Amino acid sequence: MKIETKKLKNFIKTIPRVLAENFLLTSIFLLILALFIGFLIFKFSTSFKLEMPQKIEAFNKSLYQKILEKFKERERKFEEIDQKIYLNPFEEK
């Protein structure tokens, strides 16, 4: 089976003309193709894989107490800041 190079050359030369004549259909086809390829890339990317969350085996009370202390300390600092009186730079003396 021999490939006729003349027919192949003529076919390749006519492709741009056919695409230009059917611009709307070509644009729609390329848009759908791009969306399909983008969906495939998104679907099979490694960042899209869902990981199962780790189960908590036991409740760590000491860690919980440390976190509570930090929250109380923050709360105390915010209260100290609220009580501080600042000078008004726009007030006339």
Q: How many CB atoms lie within 10 A of CB 19?
A: 14
For residue 75, give both structure tokens: 């709360």
Structural domain total, the chain? 1
Q: For the segment 13-27, what is each residue's pLDDT rounded down to a tens digit?
A: 888 888 888 889 889
* Per-residue CA distances from 55 to 47, 64, 76, 89 (Å): 22, 17, 33, 55
Per-residue pLDDT reduced to its tens digit, 31-82: 999 999 999 888 877 665 666 777 777 888 898 999 999 999 999 998 888 8
Residue-level pLDDT at 47:
62
What's the gap between Cα 20 and its chain centre? 36
Residue 54 lies in a domain: no
- The answer to whether position 88 is within a domain reads no
Query: Is 52 among the domain residues?
Result: no
Residue 53 lies in a domain: no
User: Is 76 a member of any domain?
Assistant: yes
Q: How does pLDDT run across 5-16, given as a tens digit for each residue?
A: 888 888 888 888
Domain presence at residue 91 = no
- Distance between CA 30 and CA 25 in Å, rounded? 9
Q: Which domain holds residue 39?
A: 5-46+59-83
